[in-house]
C-alpha cells in the first residue's frame, strides 16, 4: 500500500521553481521540490560531491533556464529532470531522487 505525505502545494512556488521542505521522516534532511516545464521533480537536498546542501541560503537555489539547478558550493550543474550532474566536480553522478505524486495541486512524498 502506498502512503502519501504532503510536501507542499503548487501555490508555494509562485515566482520560484524550487521549494525546500524538511524531510517528513528525518528532520536532519531536506528535500528540494522543483517545478519543471513538464512536471514536478524532487531530490534530497544534498550535492553528491561533498554532501552539502544545494541552496546558498535556506530555500534559495540557483537555476538556469528552468533546466538546471546548481550547487551553490561547488557550481556543479544538475539536470532538473534526471538529477544527473552535467557539469562540475561530480559530473556523471546523480542527485538522489525522492518519489513524489501530484494530486489536486498538492505534491506528496510517496512511501
Domain span holding position 81 = 13-102
pLDDT digits (tens, 9 = 90+) for 41-81: 999 999 998 889 999 888 899 999 889 999 998 899 999 99
* Count of domains observed in the chain: 1
- Report pLDDT for 104: 94
Is 4 part of any domain? no
- Report pLDDT for 16: 85
Is 111 part of any domain? no
0.85 cut: is pTM over it? yes
User: Region 28-50: what's the mean pLDDT?
Assistant: 94
**Cα–Cα distance between 104 and 106 in angstroms, integer?**
6
* Residue 63 phi, psi dihedral angles, 5° rounding: -130, 160
Confidence of residue 14 (pLDDT cuts 50, 70, 90): confident
Contact between residue 76 and residue 49 where contact means Cβ atoms under 8 Å apart: yes
CATH number for position 97: 2.102.10.10
Is 30 part of any domain? yes
Average pLDDT across the chain, whole number: 93
Amino acid at each position: 500500500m502506498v502512503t502519501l505525505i504532503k510536501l507542499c502545494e503548487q501555490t508555494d512556488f509562485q515566482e520560484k521553481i524550487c521549494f525546500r521542505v524538511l524531510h517528513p521522516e528525518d528532520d536532519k534532511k531536506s528535500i528540494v521540490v522543483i517545478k519543471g516545464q513538464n512536471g514536478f521533480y524532487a531530490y534530497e537536498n544534498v550535492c553528491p560531491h561533498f554532501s552539502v546542501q544545494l541552496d546558498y541560503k535556506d530555500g534559495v537555489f540557483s537555476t538556469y533556464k528552468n533546466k538546471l539547478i546548481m550547487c551553490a558550493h561547488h557550481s556543479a550543474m544538475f539536470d532538473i529532470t534526471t538529477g544527473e550532474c552535467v557539469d562540475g566536480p561530480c559530473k556523471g553522478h546523480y542527485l538522489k531522487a525522492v518519489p513524489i505524486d501530484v494530486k489536486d495541486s498538492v505534491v506528496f512524498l510517496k512511501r
